[in-house]
Structure 1
Amino acid sequence: MSDAGKASVTPYLTFDMRLFIMAPLLLLVFSLMSQSLLCAALAEIGGRRSVGSVSDIIQRVNGHLGRQKRGPVITDDDIAQSRRRNAVPCTSRGCTWSKGSNGNVVIPVFISNSYSWAERRVIIRSLLTFHRTTCIRFVWWRGQSDYIYFFPGSGCWSYLGRQGGLQLISLNRFGCVYLPIVQHEVLHALGFHHEHVRSDRDDYVRIIFRNIQEDKKRNFRRVNTNNLNTPYDYNSVMHYSTYAFSISPGELQTITARNSNVEFGQATEMSRKDIRRVNRLYQCSEFKIKTKLSEHLADITCNL
């Protein structure tokens, strides 16, 4: 991580790591409290409702990131520039998280203590949606070398794919702590880009560049993605909305579907195809996918 990147999270990281490393007794108490928190999250089926589409929320919260003096360079609206590799494409060898002998992909996580109990519940509940539909398993960080650190940074952003070592996901407390936003940023960390930039997108949508804000046109460039033999997904939680980064929001569209009967960019959770791609990239066994991911929560045991 660059010095600027370290400086941007130092107020959170220093406090959290001091608590973790220097106070074993407090850590034990915190662990037990976190377990109770997880169980409470399972009972909260409704979750925290987001206001607006995923891309609209991220656009609103991240509007200032291009001017930030500290932290990683943010491209494509919410993707932190990779420290070790070209950020795209990133569904290739060396970019994914390791798979264990039991067939699960175990990813350690640490959630900043700067979040409230309610905010932690949302983050945990969002992570649990991966457990019953994929072979991704999030566990509490216990000193593993590679792990994800959720902290309330200056916006909603994530790195693309596994970076190695401490890996940041920023979820600003005032705009990012919603289930679809957490899923969106975690999918980036798993190696997935935005749906509207995939290599075959021109067969399904039109990008109207003249209506896009000049400094945001790069967010719509087509990427040579690995689509894992899955069809284009209008319902993906990774898809931009029709007015994303418009010079005149609500009036001039920036993305239109070639099929005029299709709606897109309004996902409230991961789609079936989002889940299928995770399973194919990580070679998971097939999972039965219910109509709504929230239906799985009642069946999940408190074993994070």
Structure 2
Amino acid sequence: MSKCALSLLILLVASDCSWAEEKDLPVSELLWKANRDVVRREDEPLVIDDIAYDNENERNSDPCVTNGCMWPSSADGNVYVPYTIASHYSSRERSIIERGLQSFKDVSCIRFVERTGQRDFLSIQSDSGCYSYVGRRGYAQTLSLDRQGCLYHSTVQRELLHALGFHHEQCRSDRDQYIQILWENIQPGLEYAFDKIDTLNMDTPYDYSSVMQYERFAFSANNKATMVPIPNTNVELGMSSQMSSNDILRLNRLYKCTSFRP
């Protein structure tokens, strides 16, 4: 084998090993790494953490699912969500996205389908970092999965859950019964990531292992915890790498997936 070919092989192996190490990180850490140094273009939406907004006034609004942002059910009981995937993804990158899309079919009545002219759809593309709007916005809505840092099963699932109408777990209306926010440890200017929202919790318990839950040091200014579980502070927090059983339960309850059979 030539020195050139050997060097290329070593580079490819090292790249695959690095990817394998990254994908084992909890989703909140993957998103933090992907979004921390992003500089957004002027034509991109307002993005706070990994949620996109049309304007600043939307940040603390009531859940949009009470105002018509759910994707509609069809006569057969399924919920069809059209999408497009930008051509700039490689076949391997596209397969990661498609696996995330398919995972919803396996556990719910949600069916992500390739767009065939529908007005409202998800436009999945490699924009600046990882982000999604919450719920259906109307017409084309960007769901960004940056090729540099966002293409993991957990991040795909989390951004899709945002697009279906779900917020972060630590923003739940009842979160103060289950976690304590340590405001003094949060990076100045990032307190918004812990805003409490009047969420619809679908009679499901607070879930420390939700794919929508941050890990305990998220947005820390001093390497100290920004939130701790209560009353048992030793419970693992935000270590999920895929949707939890409670994520799936509340998804099925919100979209009334009564006819769903695994």
What's the TM-score, normalizing by structure 2? 0.86
Q: Please list every run of 5 or more consecutive structure 2 residues that lacks an aligned counterpart in the other structure.
A: 1-18
Q: Is the 2:31–2:50 Cα contact (8 Å) retained in structure 1? A: yes
Q: Given the alignment of the two structures, is residue 225 of structure 1 paired with residue 204 of structure 2, yes or no?
A: no
CA displacement, residues 7-44 of structure 1 (integer Å, 9 cap, x when unaligned) = xxxxxxxxxxxxxxxxxxxxxxxxxxxxxxxxxxxxxx
The equivalent of 1:154 in structure 2 is 128
CA drift at 1:132: 1.6
Q: Compared with structure 1, are the counterparts of its residues 118 and 148 closer, same or farther at alpha carbon in structure 2 (3 Å cutoff)?
A: same
The equivalent of 2:255 in structure 1 is 282
Given residue 254 of structure 1, which amino acid in structure 2 is its aligned partner?
A: T
- The one of 139, 142, 146 aligned to 1:168: 142
CA displacement, residues 96-138 of structure 1 (integer Å, 9 cap, x when unaligned) = 0011000000011111110010010000001111002110001
CA drift at 1:52: 2.1
Q: Compared with structure 1, are the counterparts of its residues 72 and 169 closer, same or farther at alpha carbon in structure 2 (3 Å cutoff)?
A: same
Q: Please list every run of 5 or more consecutive structure 1 residues that lacks an aligned counterpart in the other structure.
A: 1-46, 290-304
The equivalent of 1:120 in structure 2 is 94
- The one of 147, 154, 175 aligned to 1:180: 154
Q: Matches of 1:70 and 1:98 in 2, distance apart?
A: 29
Q: Matches of 2:208 and 2:117 in 1, distance apart?
A: 39
Deviates more, 1:260-269 or 1:131-140: 260-269
Given residue 27 of structure 2, which amino acid in structure 1 is its aligned partner?
A: V
The equivalent of 1:110 in structure 2 is 84
Q: Compared with structure 1, are the counterparts of its residues 216 and 159 closer, same or farther at alpha carbon in structure 2 (3 Å cutoff)?
A: same
Q: Is the 1:236–1:267 Cα contact (8 Å) retained in structure 2? A: yes
The equivalent of 1:194 in structure 2 is 168
The equivalent of 1:82 in structure 2 is 54
Q: Compared with structure 1, are the counterparts of its residues 65 and 72 closer, same or farther at alpha carbon in structure 2 (3 Å cutoff)?
A: farther
The equivalent of 2:6 in structure 1 is none
The equivalent of 2:227 in structure 1 is 255
Q: Matches of 1:281 and 1:93 in 2, distance apart?
A: 14
CA drift at 1:65: 4.2
CA drift at 1:148: 0.6
The equivalent of 2:43 in structure 1 is 70
Q: Given the alignment of the two structures, is residue 209 of structure 1 paired with residue 183 of structure 2, yes or no?
A: yes
- Percent identical: 44
Q: Matches of 1:53 and 1:209 in 2, distance apart?
A: 22
- The one of 192, 198, 215 aligned to 1:241: 215
What's the TM-score, normalizing by structure 1? 0.75
Q: Matches of 2:216 and 2:183 in 1, distance apart?
A: 12
Given residue 55 of structure 1, which amino acid in structure 2 is its aligned partner?
A: S
Describe the SS at the equivalent of 2:29. helix
Given residue 239 of structure 1, which amino acid in structure 2 is its aligned partner?
A: Q
CA displacement, residues 74-107 of structure 1 (integer Å, 9 cap, x when unaligned) = 12x0110036x83542232401001100000001
Q: Matches of 1:254 and 1:166 in 2, distance apart?
A: 36
CA drift at 1:286: 6.3
Given residue 69 of structure 1, which amino acid in structure 2 is its aligned partner?
A: E
Q: Compared with structure 1, are the counterparts of its residues 278 and 98 closer, same or farther at alpha carbon in structure 2 (3 Å cutoff)?
A: same
Q: Is the 1:82–1:160 Cα contact (8 Å) retained in structure 2? A: no
The equivalent of 2:243 in structure 1 is 270
How many residues are treated as equivalent by the alignment?
Answer: 240
| Runs of 4 or more above 4 Å deviation | 65-68, 286-289
Q: Compared with structure 1, are the counterparts of its residues 51 and 215 closer, same or farther at alpha carbon in structure 2 (3 Å cutoff)?
A: farther
The equivalent of 2:11 in structure 1 is none
Given residue 157 of structure 1, which amino acid in structure 2 is its aligned partner?
A: Y
CA drift at 1:63: 1.6
Q: Is the 1:279–1:286 Cα contact (8 Å) retained in structure 2? A: no
Deviates more, 1:140-149 or 1:63-72: 63-72
Q: Is the 2:82–2:112 Cα contact (8 Å) retained in structure 1? A: yes
